[in-house]
Amino acid sequence: MSGTMTPVSEGERVMTDGAAADEAAADRGIERDYSAALAVAIVVGLALAFSARAGASVLLGAVAVVQALLAFSWLAGTGMPGRKGALIIGAFAAAGADVA
The residues near 36 (Cβ < 8 Å, ≥ 6 apart) are none
Grade residue 62 by pLDDT with cuts at 50, 70 and 90.
Answer: very high
The gap between the terminal CA atoms of the chain, to the nearest Å, is 47
pLDDT at 57 over 80: yes
User: pLDDT over 90 for what percent of the chain?
Assistant: 22
In angstroms, the CA 75 to CA 19 distance is: 25
20 vs 61 pLDDT, higher one: 61
**What's the CA gap between 62 and 37, in Å, rounded?**
19
Residue range 58-76: average pLDDT? Answer: 85
Question: Residue 98 — very low, low, confident or very high, per pLDDT cuts 50/70/90?
Answer: confident
- Asked whether residue 79 carries a pLDDT value surpassing 80, the answer given is no
For 5-24, the DSSP string reads GS-SSSS------HHHHHHH
Closest CA to 68 of 45, 99, 35, 92: 92
